Structure 1
Amino acid sequence: MSNRTESDTGANTPAARLQHLFENHRLTPTQRRIAHCMVRRAADVPFLSSVELAELAGVSQPSVTRFAVALGFDGYPALRRHLREVTPAEPADAGSLNEYQQAVEAEIENLRHLAQLLADPAPVERAGRLLAGSRPLLVLGLRAAASQAYGFSYFASKVHPDVRLLDEGGSTLADRVDAAVHSGATALLCFALPRHPKEVVDALAYAKSAGLTVVTVADSAFTPVARHSDLLLPAAVGEGLAFDTACSPMLLGRVLLEAMCDNLPDAQARLEEFDVRAAERGLFAE
């Protein structure tokens, strides 16, 4: 039996406490956007005004007030007092770092948060079993998430007998889902990153209706794809540059590969066979 304490598992971090605060509340899309922003800026939120939070989240100040009321507080000041009581920390100080260094530091913080979430391996282990047991296995990622889906599929195909990449939208996507289900597919892995294409939401809804179990790697638990996911694994993206950075989702994808391999008895044998054939073909420059 595990002797990990709440603090050991990362359940007592500022981000985790915020996640717990938002649980069991039906949030509107605007409120989910505020919640997502607060989780990402968990260390700073207790020190932000409602105007500052609204600006960071890209919503109106009254929306922040309504959000606090929806959580059961009299208003945003009451919510902020609560956060200061349960999160006794100082706001992060960027110091003299330039914008590029700040982007790297933010991504490092995202990775730390992912490490805290992985202190409880049960969700990833469950995902590994679901992915290993699906023959074929569908992997979906469109637009910004296409590279994540491709990277997972590339490595997964070395150990899984039938991996089918869905990295293009359009009317044929549903056809490919149907074909996979008819071939025996039971699960779909989705990489969902902002901005979230509507066709990804529609594709997951269709996959669910077709009987597939949906495992999703997303930038937040409050994304539009959440309601169509049986198991959602959050991994934040960096937002400090002109285009988002996705180190955490990529690493979480590799963790899922490891968990899947743990549930494929012949994974090691398949990798060794590939190495032999690669050497025979002179595939790699040594």
Structure 2
Amino acid sequence: MNEENKDLIRTIKQNFTKLSKGQKLIAQFIMDNYDKAAFMTASKLGDKVGVSESTVVRFAGALGFDGYPKLQKSLQELIKTKLTTVQRVEMSQDYSSDFEVLNKILKSDIDNIRNTLEDINPKAFEDVIDKIASAKKIYIVGLRTSSAIADYLGFYLNLILDNVVLVNYGISDVFEQIIKVSEEDLVIGISFPRYSKKTYEILEFAKKQGATIVALTDSHISPIATLSDNTLLAKSNMASFVDSLVAPLSLINALIVALGMREKDKIKGYFDKLEHVWKDFNIYEEQA
């Protein structure tokens, strides 16, 4: 069973009558407090509801999970999209010092990069590079918190290519910016929890026009992944009320560098020209 694709709360409700008395206590606690349960060990969850650790493990098995860690992972996926910002802030109140915040956040980001590297599909990565290189026009769509990394991708792709359009909130409506999209074009959608509804709608429109869709997101059950021809996954598990975009940014760095290596001879001359422009107009501080 693919635990990542399960609707956990619905699964619990469907199996509730079949559970033992102790397992029903666990089920009820999770449905009422999934934001807290997601970060509890099997032992701590058992203590909280008054059952043994082994009962918690059997509860996970009764729902079709291969062990409690798989159930916990599903819970953590659930809260990324269901938690309000207020609930996220409440989750972050257990830090005892500023250094503990630093320590936990950096370790969480390291884990996100490590897990992204372990799970990335090399063939999908290469296919995306091929599609970027061959597209007539490339549209980049990333709104709300994802706009930061969409801007970053757009900035560097514009240094390498001359057919890049960054779709964002500005003087014109986002749909006006993508109205000319066609089947010869590529649309890169970037969306991480909490997922932007507008990003999905833009990609849905582009798909209906025949464009190729690439999704950069955190899960195969992400809304934009259901529209994509290629999906690249980057982990964004949060350690606080702030979304972690470190792994997505690292993946985007890899995309830019890989594409740049293919266009090495072309961009070498371009960057040489840019260096003269930057020097002539004093764009950067000169070192003494």
**Which residue matches 2:107?**
105
SS of residue matched to 2:159: coil
- Contact conserved, 2:154 with 2:165, CA < 8 A, in 1? yes
TM-score for the superposition, normalised by structure 1: 0.67
Matched, 1:55 2:57: no
- Cα shift at 1:283: 1.6
Partner of 1:193: 192
Once the two structures are superposed, residues 203-244 of structure 1 have per-residue CA deviations (whole angstroms, 9 ceiling, x without a partner) of 111111111111111122221111111111111224212221
- Is 2:212 the partner of 1:213? yes
Q: 2:2 aligns with which of 5, 16, 21?
A: 21
Match of 2:282 in 1: 282
Q: Tell whether the 8 Å contact from 1:216 to 1:232 is kept in structure 2 after alignment.
A: yes
Give the length in aligned residue pairs. Answer: 226
Task: Give the structure with the larger helix fraction.
Answer: 2
CA RMSD, 1 decimal: 3.6
Matches within 5 A, 1:1-286: 21-22=2-3, 27=6, 51=29, 55-56=34-35, 76-78=60-62, 82-83=66-67, 98-118=100-120, 120-168=121-169, 172-181=173-182, 185-264=184-263, 266-286=266-286
| 1: CA distance, partners of 2:180 / 2:69 | 54
Q: Given the superposition, is the C-alpha separation of residues 170 and 75 from structure 1 closer, same or farther in structure 2, using an over 3 Å criterion?
A: farther
Structure 1 residue 82: Cα displacement: 2.7
CA distance in 1, matches of 2:129, 2:181: 19
Give 1:185 deviation, angstroms: 4.9
Q: Which amino acid in 1 is paired with 2:191?
A: A
> Which structure 2 segments of 5+ residues have no match?
12-25, 39-57, 71-94
- Separation in structure 1 between the aligned mates of residue 200 and residue 280 of structure 2, nearest angstrom: 44
Q: Percent identity?
A: 18
Aligned partner letter, 1:237:
S
TM-score, reference length from structure 2: 0.66
User: How big is the shift at 1:270?
Assistant: 2.1
Deviation at 1:269, TM superposition (A): 2.8
Identify which range, 271-280 or 158-167, moves more after superposition.
Answer: 271-280
Give 1:78 shift.
3.9
Q: Which amino acid in structure 1 is aligned with residue 2 of structure 2?
A: L
Q: 1:175 deviation in Å?
A: 2.7
1:21 counterpart letter in structure 2 = N
User: In the TM superposition, what is the alpha-carbon distance from 1:192 to its structure 2 partner?
Assistant: 0.5
